[in-house]
A and B are shown apart, each in its own frame.
Chain A
């Protein structure tokens, strides 16, 4: 595939791996967090960390939208799905995330009409095809997916689709990053910035990481060569004592972001004062709801939802995994009580989740590639 294969070139990967070995300061152990689940997935899919020296460690961050959904919100989604006449639509991964009483997949088996969609526009299409049913879209994701939800709501409004609404669980990337950086147990040296999110918000919003916390950030693409090059750029910054936002993913990410997408989001969404994150607790101004102008399309207003906070299971250490404090396999229940077949924590559900990625792709003694 043109424009992709170049970024999966094994020979180039080895050259970069050699440069990484040369760039890391002897005797120093460097911990770099890839914020985004897409990066985690790629790292395991291609075996990127087999090419890294032992003293460069990648830590998987909180950027998987499925992983950060708290149980109470899953319960709310299931409650909406159980309303008479409702068709609840959601992305595939979301159907296996456990709430306190089960998953959407189990609710479907018990009679609720839950359907998997690939985009919010598919949900709108279902609404138009079923005018006598109420169709709800269970919206999740960071700024990557929020614009498509916003566009869909604008279209629903323009086409006067009265039986469509949105259960909004969109979140924003900056507040959890700030919460992570404020965490006293954090031991990170730099960040691989979330490429998909930055196509929308740009690289500028990440500048606070350098300004306030003196950590380097490199916004990265998702191919293995992108990730290795980003690691190399971070190591150069560390070596030179710099902490800047650099953009490795210039072919896609404009530094200032996508103005049109941001405008549409500002019109359709408003910040919630607080939003709960799985494992991280409540974070101020980190979640989106529908703006007053779109309140009539808000499923939380149309339907009764329990809206109850459900504490994370005691055994689950998702929060520490998401903060990079422990590795997935250091969690008390990893691989024993919590497996992809029966996940306790959300990190074990999505293939982008740190635990599932580790369990599915990485659970064997690694043989490091000799560069």
Chain B
């Protein structure tokens, strides 16, 4: 190894050691970055919350806690929804509040059974807006096959909330076919995504009216249980892990899995499905669609001998829209904990988690 290469290798070693450490929470105040699903969120969760609660169910950082209750294996999860604007092409805060929680259960291999619903309403919210969201919640719950079994309502003074916030807690029954673990990935496993990536986050950015872009991009909010069910049925024991790629996008999910399993990943950029309008908007904004949030896209790691059947089953799911599910890459041995992308141009790059919000480049 030449002098330069040795020096480079030494420094790269330092970076990887840094990266392998459990993140510390050292910030003086909460900033928006702590809610964006990237590294700052990771530092908040792993540096402050996990050590404080010391719960083994929480420590595995799954989408839901899996509990043994009187012989039944149950999954329990909770989520809060604070999206602006509350209605956007393809969905609304009400759909998200149901689908987001249902999907956290589904990603734990649990058939969703029941939800609780907590509404935090801002003084002055107009009744038609509230009525529309209640209808959206009812419709999404009906589609996902879950009952809303308990709830709570609070009203806060004008200015103390942005129209409405919704919190949902979901209970599911872990399917006996499921043997999922975030740390189960092995070299050779295939990585599947259930559909085009980046639509939800881009739809929200455009709906905020911050960009003068004229494109119709529709959120992908949907229940992922039918997709999870198909994978459990057809990938059988080869299904290692499921994750829904919400905040931080597919990139965050892959990085978390690579780290927790101590493996590397190689993603073929050309194989990642992205709608042309989403690709165009992301291009203009200098944002990678792999970093953009989804509300109805899952990532599955499947043992290679099961991957073909799993993909075909996913594409055949009738409820929802999974026809463009794709095999985007594979699990490798090294470099440990890292996700690499083979670009369409033939080079390679590292696909890292976001640091904070995806911030558009200036030129």
Q: Enumerate chain A interface residues (CB-CB to B < 8 A).
A: 1, 4, 8, 10, 13-14, 37-38, 41, 44-51, 65-66, 91-96, 105-106, 108-110, 116, 118, 122, 140-142, 144-145, 196, 224, 327, 329-330, 334-336, 339-342, 350-352, 359-367, 369
Contact = CB atoms under 8 A, between A and B. Distances in A.
B131 interface: no
B361 interface: yes
Contacts of A196: 363
A14 B343 contact: no
Interface of B: 7-9, 11-12, 14-15, 18, 26, 28-33, 39-40, 43, 210-211, 276, 279-280, 283, 286, 335, 338, 340, 342-350, 352, 355-357, 359-363
Nearest to A47: B347
Contacts of A47: 342-343, 345-349
A46 B31 contact: no
A29 to B, nearest CB: 11
A329 B12 contact: yes
Given A92-B357, A92-B362, 4 more contacts: A92-B360, A106-B28, A109-B32, A339-B15
A369 B15 CA distance: 24
Contacts of A341: 39-40, 43, 355
A110 B29 CA distance: 7
B343 A106 contact: no
15 contacts: A1-B279, A10-B346, A13-B346, A38-B363, A45-B349, A47-B346, A65-B362, A92-B360, A105-B32, A109-B30, A329-B11, A336-B14, A350-B361, A364-B340, A365-B12
Given A95-B359, A118-B210, A351-B286, A330 B348 contact: no
B347 A359 contact: no
Contacts of B26: 342
Contacts of B40: 341
A369 B350 CA distance: 16
Contacts of B342: 47
A145 B335 CA distance: 39
A145 B350 contact: no
Contacts of A365: 8-9, 12, 335
A292 B190 CA distance: 63
Contacts of A38: 361, 363
A68 B222 CA distance: 44
A352 B276 CA distance: 25
A108 B31 contact: yes
Contacts of B352: 360
B103 to A, nearest CB: 28
A334 B10 CA distance: 12
A64 to B, nearest CB: 9
Contact of A1 (B12, B280, B355): B280
Contacts of B11: 329-330, 334-335
- Return the 8 tightest CB-CB contacts between A and B, nearest first: A47-B347, A92-B359, A335-B15, A50-B347, A46-B345, A361-B349, A329-B11, A109-B29
A167 to B, nearest CB: 15
A1 B276 contact: yes
B350 A10 contact: no
B363 A50 contact: no
Contact of A360 (B29, B286, B348, B350): B350
A96 B361 CA distance: 12
Given A1-B279, A50-B346, A329-B11, A109 B31 contact: yes
A14 B356 contact: no
Given A339-B18, A352-B361, A14 B346 contact: yes
B355 A144 contact: no
B362 A93 contact: yes
A352 B18 CA distance: 22
A363 B31 CA distance: 28
Nearest to A228: B345
Nearest to B362: A91
Contacts of A361: 349-350
